[in-house]
Structure 1
Amino acid sequence: MDLRHRDTIYQNAKAWVYEAGKIIKEQMNNPLNIETKSDANDLVTILDKQTEKYFVEKIKDKYPDHQIIGEEGYGDQPKELDGTIWVIDPIDGTMNFVHQKKFFAISVGILHNGVGEIGLIYDVMNDTLYHVKRGEGAFRDNQQLANLSKDKQLSESIIGMNYFWLCENRLVDYRVMQDFIRTIRGARTYGSAALELAFIAEGTLDGYLSMRLSPWDVAAGIILLQEVGGVVSDVDGNKWDPLNKSSIVASNAALHKTILEIIKKGRK
């Protein structure tokens, strides 16, 4: 992707993210018409749909040759990674949005020929934007994020993960994960994969584990995290696939191998 062209795309994407966040805040106290998707805890609101449609209309008008992967289905369904692909979650953390009116984000990742070029994660209620252009540094608003520590120990780490890791009949034996939790300093659950990846990038979390996430949940966060030296794979150590759902293990480079080795002991 031509750098001048990339900068223009970035500026447009940033403006659209801020505008979408403004619309969400203006309308979030209106009736939300809450629906469920895959199960009773997989929520979607009219604002999820409206926000994704807003991005699709803006992108298709400005960049008709670009493809879009979006959570609510208003984009495309690319089978290959050729060209420029926008990966959008209009409201990442919909359950938080519905119940708490906070801890949710707009997530936009932009890939070109499979390479993550631009990432934007907007913490709407805190008016905080995490953003990155590959090779130019990752930022929290105007503050550049430092490269992640290579000396972090698991015993002094805080890991983002939810209670599903401690349930039976999951990807990894729950007893192994119980031992894992006893090893680390603490575990946290924020309910937004995009924000949790951003927290690793800024150094307030040290890792993040999830059993099954879609590309729109993590695309922007992975681009952000990789820029500061973070590592992302599935639970078997395979490279992240931007076109399919997968498990996610994200952390600084110092911890990643250790976490994978522990998970491997409990793989079924």
Structure 2
Amino acid sequence: MTQFNKETVYQNARKWVEEAGEIIRTEIDQPRKIDTKMNPNDLVTEMDRKIEEFFADKIRQTYPSDLILSEEGFGDQVNELKGTVWIIDPIDGTMNFVHQKRTFAISLAVFHEGVGEIGFVYDVMADILYHAKRGEGTYKNEQKLVPIAKEKNLSEAILLLNPLWCAPNDRADHEKVAELVKTVRGARSYGSAALEFAYLAEGITDVYVSFHLQPWDYAAGVILYHEVGGQTVKATGEDLTFLKQEPTVAGHPDLIAEVIQNYISLK
């Protein structure tokens, strides 16, 4: 098995992320082939598949023993985070990609023996790369982000809330979540979980609640956020597995327990 060299993996991954972003920008105005997956609003395009295949080919040529956990069918069956696992969303925010041609991101995380070592969230159209290596901080392009504030009150917080929280088949207590929205200073939704985690890391939002995220939606973002002092857990307070869809709460450590105990009730 190839020895894990974090710096080399980081440099390769960064090069591939930037190359993938250039492919998307070059072809952004071309006609799209749009399909649906789980429901009519769960979109996938030929570009999602093209970019995921691009990453899969690069990884398998360079790191043939590594595994890939990804969204569009070019990954492996991953049941545990053993060895090195790449967790990839080629276009996080496909609806934004289709309708707005902006506010979407490439999300790529590298886990080694169960630990998130490297994370990239690339705002493709803005050409802003959020990136982190474990223990070395988080950067927005070449600017190192400062740690989040030492203290935070929920009444002064900006909440990120995935609008799918109100889907009829979810397990959330809608009234409690609505009360949370009334408690915070403001609520936002940007349509890309990866970018929403980047905004948490940047300190422009403070807490995030979503009941429908998959590992490829948040794996890279969690690494970014952890490096500035943020916390991300299941909505039960347990650790994330990064292997399946899990109700998720992220936020300032002062807010996590309060949000889960008082506003998140899973049926």
TM-score (norm 1): 0.96
- Secondary structure in 2 aligned to 1:213? coil
2:122 aligned residue: 122
2:21 aligned residue: 21
Whether the aligned pair in 1 keeps the contact of 2:158 and 2:205 (CA below 8 Å) is: yes
Partners of 1:132 and 1:20 in 2: how far apart? Answer: 18
Paired residue type of 2:46? I
Partners of 1:150 and 1:168 in 2: how far apart? Answer: 37
2:32 aligned residue: 32
1:226 aligned residue: 226
Quick one: structure 1 residues 56 and 250, their matched pair in 2 at CA, closer, same or farther if it must change by over 3 Å?
same
1:8 aligned residue: 8
1:96 aligned residue: 96
Could you list the runs of 5+ residues in structure 2 that have no partner in the other structure?
A: none
Q: Does 1:267 align with 2:266?
A: yes
Whether the aligned pair in 1 keeps the contact of 2:165 and 2:212 (CA below 8 Å) is: no
1:208 aligned residue: 208
Paired residue type of 2:214? S
Query: Relative to structure 2, which stretch is displaced further, 72-81 or 8-17?
Result: 72-81
1:53 aligned residue: 53
1:110 aligned residue: 110
Partners of 2:20 and 2:59 in 1: how far apart? Answer: 13
Paired residue type of 1:155? S
Could you list the runs of 5+ residues in structure 1 that have no partner in the other structure?
A: none
Using the TM superposition, give the Cα deviation of residue 150 of structure 1 relative to its aligned residue in structure 2, in angstroms: 2.7
Using the TM superposition, give the Cα deviation of residue 193 of structure 1 relative to its aligned residue in structure 2, in angstroms: 0.4
Whether the aligned pair in 1 keeps the contact of 2:105 and 2:123 (CA below 8 Å) is: yes
Report 1:51-200 matches (<5 A).
51-166=51-166, 170-200=170-200
Whether the aligned pair in 2 keeps the contact of 1:28 and 1:47 (CA below 8 Å) is: no
Query: Relative to structure 2, which stretch is displaced further, 207-216 or 103-112?
Result: 207-216
Whether the aligned pair in 1 keeps the contact of 2:160 and 2:188 (CA below 8 Å) is: yes
Using the TM superposition, give the Cα deviation of residue 170 of structure 1 relative to its aligned residue in structure 2, in angstroms: 3.2
Paired residue type of 1:212? H
Aligned length: 267
Partners of 1:209 and 1:48 in 2: how far apart? Answer: 25
Using the TM superposition, give the Cα deviation of residue 3 of structure 1 relative to its aligned residue in structure 2, in angstroms: 10
Quick one: structure 1 residues 155 and 114, their matched pair in 2 at CA, closer, same or farther if it must change by over 3 Å?
same
Whether the aligned pair in 1 keeps the contact of 2:70 and 2:89 (CA below 8 Å) is: yes
- Secondary structure in 1 aligned to 2:178? helix
- Secondary structure in 1 aligned to 2:139? strand
Using the TM superposition, give the Cα deviation of residue 267 of structure 1 relative to its aligned residue in structure 2, in angstroms: 3.1
Using the TM superposition, give the Cα deviation of residue 31 of structure 1 relative to its aligned residue in structure 2, in angstroms: 1.5
Whether the aligned pair in 1 keeps the contact of 2:86 and 2:111 (CA below 8 Å) is: yes
Paired residue type of 1:23? I
Using the TM superposition, give the Cα deviation of residue 73 of structure 1 relative to its aligned residue in structure 2, in angstroms: 1.2
Partners of 1:139 and 1:213 in 2: how far apart? Answer: 24
Whether the aligned pair in 2 keeps the contact of 1:235 and 1:263 (CA below 8 Å) is: no
Partners of 1:111 and 1:88 in 2: how far apart? Answer: 11
TM-score (norm 2): 0.96
Partners of 1:134 and 1:92 in 2: how far apart? Answer: 22
Paired residue type of 2:241? D
Using the TM superposition, give the Cα deviation of residue 166 of structure 1 relative to its aligned residue in structure 2, in angstroms: 4.5
- Secondary structure in 2 aligned to 1:197? helix
Partners of 2:4 and 2:167 in 1: how far apart? Answer: 49
Whether the aligned pair in 2 keeps the contact of 1:230 and 1:252 (CA below 8 Å) is: yes
- Secondary structure in 2 aligned to 1:212? coil
Paired residue type of 1:188? R
Quick one: structure 1 residues 12 and 215, their matched pair in 2 at CA, closer, same or farther if it must change by over 3 Å?
same
CA deviation profile, 1:158-215 (whole Å, cap 9, x unmatched): 0110333346663222111121111100000100000000100010110111111111
Whether the aligned pair in 2 keeps the contact of 1:96 and 1:103 (CA below 8 Å) is: yes
Whether the aligned pair in 1 keeps the contact of 2:232 and 2:250 (CA below 8 Å) is: yes
Using the TM superposition, give the Cα deviation of residue 245 of structure 1 relative to its aligned residue in structure 2, in angstroms: 1.1
Whether the aligned pair in 1 keeps the contact of 2:179 and 2:263 (CA below 8 Å) is: no
2:244 aligned residue: 244
